Amino acid sequence: MGNSAAKGRVVEQAPEEQRSSATPFEVICRCCQETFCIESIRLFPYGAKQRGYHGVNEESTTKNATKKAFQIHGKGKNVEAAINKKDWKLAIQTLIDENNVMIFSDTTCKFCAKVKDLFKSMDVSYFVLELDQIEHGHQLRNALFELTMEPSLPAVFLRKQYVGGYDRTVKAHREGAFLKLLEGNRQTKQASYDYDLIVIGGGSGGLAASKEAAILGKNVLVLDFVVPTPLGTTWGLGGTCVNVGCIPKKLMHQTALLGQAIKDAPMFGWQLGDKPIKHSWSSLTEAVQNHIGSLNWGYRVSLRENKVTYENAYGEFIGPHTIKTTNNKGVEKTYTAERFLIATGERPRYLNIPGDKEYCITSDDLFSLPYCPGKTLVVGASYVALECAGFLAGLGLDVTVMVRSILLRGFDQDMANKIGEHMEEHGVKFIRKYVPTEIQQIKAGTPGLLKVTAQATENSEIIEGEYNTVLLAIGRDACTKKIGLQKVGVRINENTGKIPVNNREQTNVPYIYAIGDVLEGKPELTPVAIQAGRLLVRRLYAGAYTKCDYINVPTTVFTPLEYGACGYSEEKAIERYGNHRIEVYHSYFWPLEWTVPSRDNNKCYAKIICNLTDRNRIIGFHVLGPNAGEITQGFAAAIKCGITKEQLDSTIGIHPVCAEIFTSLSVTKRSGGNVVQSGC
């Protein structure tokens, strides 16, 4: 079976040397939704001569296996009786009658494996009997043939109706007949609920899932409520990305890039006059907030057009299939649903030191701040910290970043350090290996003046500094600890608040699912949440079985020198494959548009990581430079398709663009060769 623990509970386990790769009986229990694997009945291929397992021989083992197969969770007494009487037809018919989904299978058949994967991807409970692994399997298969008049396996039955083998099962699934058979008397069950689906969280993932479910004819409720920040900041429908994340961040990043373009303009012949160019913070925030407001309105309209019910209310589980909502006026309501989707996202973390919540801001406050931040201390080294520090410095502000340890934890550290070096060269100051211990207000105002006390992480040294604004960007916490999950038994990581799920985004409570930033061990990215939400709904309601692919997800950090990445970091590649099995190709490059103003020569950087043991397949892609996100998006598709270094080398580049550097990477890190570029 391979890794039995990954499949669920192992009833009895054979010694390692006696195990085989297939699982003879696996049952997804209807009451607990766990997959049970009885591995003791798969000691050796059917008919093989092998002894030595707990002193039993093949015959007694298979007899015991047959008995266990029909007794799991109290099932199969009638089947066992029929087997004992050697009434094979009755045994087959009893299995069909007692199981909504019955699969007769063979462990050596790839189509049997595929049909089981189909049901698993649909989150459908089934019972499977591996006829090649049990005593009397040959007789049972003959009886099955007399019933279906088809000799091949798998043989799939849904609610006592014979569907067919793999091809016909897939065809029925695609045509919708599959779901109709499975739902059976479900309409009566659904009538007892207020909604088919309640989505908790009106961010990108939650909205995508809710609209998809409504399009598929489901009755959907979306709950969205923004708990104000300590400074009172709140916002509209759409979640973090639209209101206080990707959208305003990218617009302010673009503002800083325009400032640099203005500085470069005279070198290209533009005459800007003698008056100094000034930036208006209030004009910027007004424009950004107006755009965000239009998006908020668009989401409301879209929900209404798709007949999704929306409530601006806080949702909290109070019992099985039941949730209580509370709006901003304190009015409470109770709703029930067949299924729930948690898409509550995350909020910025505070330091829990004196003065942090009273005087500091976070990214939740920054983009609508009614006054220019002035001299700013950014606490943290996350991508949020460096992005905000970068565009604030680009607007001409005095910016300092206080770093506890390393920059951009979780990202490629080679790239992270190059980002830090570039920011320092462009005026951002860094205080490394210090953490704030107290924030005091010296003078109130907009902005006021704050005194920051910090202590070194490696000794007891104390430093102090004065700033107009302190921006905390030390990480984010999942919004899961105050929505009543403990009342319905949903497990969470107590340290992070993250929710562990299976590969179908299902929590340990079968009717509750989760997507987006609340998931444990998954990328915290808007497009990931959107895709996961849509695919989940299609699996639940449209007969689809495609799952979200969390591997090779592209991402971009919008620092002044943009960083795009897809796949493994260099550190993770070495950890996964070993240094001797990977090859790193790299080079600096100089964007043509930067040559005339003669700035930032050999600061942009390209790197790919290849797996030497797999045809030099590219497993990591990294680029520092202008429009890094645009470059990375295209390469991400190629990496997903398994592009190799040879294929990349044979690709004709577009000249003169930054991305063409990837078609001519020839120097490896291992060689120590020169990677500084000169000329075009």
Is residue 188 domain-resident?
Answer: no
- Confidence (pLDDT) at 189: 52
Phi, psi of 51 (to 5 degrees): -130, 175
Both tokens of 305, joined, read 């057009």
Together in a domain, 166 and 310: no
Together in a domain, 374 and 389: yes
- Confidence (pLDDT) at 177: 66
Which carries the bigger pLDDT value, residue 177 or residue 455?
455
Is residue 638 domain-resident?
Answer: yes
CATH of the domain at 447: 3.50.50.60
With cut-offs at 50, 70 and 90, classify the pLDDT of residue 416. Answer: very high
- Contact between residue 164 and residue 115 where contact means Cβ atoms under 8 Å apart: no
Q: Per-residue pLDDT averaged across 496-518, rounded?
A: 97
Is residue 51 domain-resident?
Answer: no
For 199-256, the pLDDT digits (tens) are 999 999 999 999 999 999 999 999 999 999 999 999 999 999 999 999 999 999 999 9
Q: Quick one: how many helices (H) and strands (E) in the chain?
A: 21, 29
In whole angstroms, what is the distance from residue 568 CA to residue 573 CA? Answer: 6
Together in a domain, 354 and 450: yes
Is residue 360 domain-resident?
Answer: yes
Is residue 375 domain-resident?
Answer: yes
Report the 10 Å Cβ neighbour count for 427.
13
Together in a domain, 467 and 369: yes
Half-sphere exposure of 610 (CA within 13 A, CB side): 24
Is residue 357 domain-resident?
Answer: yes
In whole angstroms, what is the distance from residue 474 CA to residue 385 CA? Answer: 7
- Tell me how far apart the terminal alpha carbons of the chain are, to the nearest angstrom: 55
Residue 531, SS3 per DSSP: helix
In whole angstroms, what is the distance from residue 122 CA to residue 545 CA? Answer: 6
Report the 10 Å Cβ neighbour count for 224.
25
Residue 597, SS3 per DSSP: coil
Residue 433, SS3 per DSSP: coil
Considering 73, 138, 422, 655, which one is annotated as catalytic? 655
Q: Which of 542, 576, 592 is the last residue of a domain?
A: 542
Phi, psi of 465 (to 5 degrees): -155, 155
Peptide bond connecting 447 to the previous residue in cis, omega within 30 degrees of 0: yes
Q: Is the dihedral of CA 49, 52, 57, 63 positive or negative?
A: negative
Together in a domain, 330 and 200: yes
Identity of residue 674? N
Which residues in 468-595 belong to E strands, given as ranges?
469-472, 476-478, 512-514, 555-557, 563-567, 582-589
- Contact between residue 28 and residue 125 where contact means Cβ atoms under 8 Å apart: yes
Give yes or no: 655 in active site: yes
Residue 34 has pLDDT above 70, yes or no: no
* Residues facing 226 on adjacent strands: none
Which residue, among 191, 135, 128, 173, has the nearest Cα to 155 in the 3D structure? Answer: 128
Together in a domain, 362 and 463: yes
Question: To the nearest whole number, what is the mean pLDDT of the chain?
Answer: 88
**Rg value, the chain, Cα:** 30
- Contact between residue 465 and residue 449 where contact means Cβ atoms under 8 Å apart: no
Which residue, among 414, 676, 403, 343, has the nearest Cα to 563 in the 3D structure? Answer: 414
Q: Per-residue pLDDT averaged across 567-581, rounded?
A: 98
Which residues in 275-356 belong to E strands, given as ranges?
309-311, 313-319, 322-327, 332-342, 346-348
Phi, psi of 303 (to 5 degrees): -65, -45
Residue 50 has pLDDT above 70, yes or no: no
In whole angstroms, what is the distance from residue 580 CA to residue 608 CA? Answer: 16
Q: Per-residue pLDDT averaged across 344-362, rounded?
A: 98
Together in a domain, 512 and 535: yes
Is residue 56 domain-resident?
Answer: no
In whole angstroms, what is the distance from residue 620 CA to residue 585 CA? Answer: 10
Which carries the bigger pLDDT value, residue 185 or residue 319?
319
Is residue 241 domain-resident?
Answer: yes
For 462-498, the pLDDT digits (tens) are 999 999 999 999 999 999 999 999 999 999 999 999 9
CATH of the domain at 653: 3.30.390.30
Together in a domain, 214 and 335: yes
- Contact between residue 659 and residue 579 where contact means Cβ atoms under 8 Å apart: no
Both tokens of 343, joined, read 């898409």
* Residues facing 335 on adjacent strands: 323
Residue with tokens 């797999």: 614
Residue 176's domain comprises 77-183
Residue 202, SS3 per DSSP: coil
In whole angstroms, what is the distance from residue 467 CA to residue 429 CA? Answer: 13
Question: How many structural domains does the chain have?
Answer: 4
Together in a domain, 378 and 455: yes
pTM of the model as a whole: 0.79
Which carries the bigger pLDDT value, residue 167 or residue 466?
466
- Confidence (pLDDT) at 569: 98
- Confidence (pLDDT) at 55: 29
Together in a domain, 586 and 499: no
- Confidence (pLDDT) at 190: 52
Q: Per-residue pLDDT averaged across 591-601, rounded?
A: 96
| Strands ordered across the beta sheet of 555-557 | 555-557, 563-567, 617-624, 604-611, 582-589
Together in a domain, 323 and 422: no
Q: Per-residue pLDDT averaged across 181-199, rounded?
A: 72
With cut-offs at 50, 70 and 90, classify the pLDDT of residue 184. Answer: low
Both tokens of 371, joined, read 């006054």
Phi, psi of 161 (to 5 degrees): -100, 135
Q: Which of 446, 474, 502 is the last residue of a domain?
A: 474
Q: Which of 148, 183, 218 is the last residue of a domain?
A: 183
- Contact between residue 429 and residue 377 where contact means Cβ atoms under 8 Å apart: no
Lowest-pLDDT choice from 47-61, 93-107, 473-487, 509-523: 47-61
Q: Per-residue pLDDT averaged across 431-439, rounded?
A: 98
Together in a domain, 364 and 505: no
Peptide bond connecting 24 to the previous residue in cis, omega within 30 degrees of 0: no
CATH of the domain at 177: 3.40.30.10
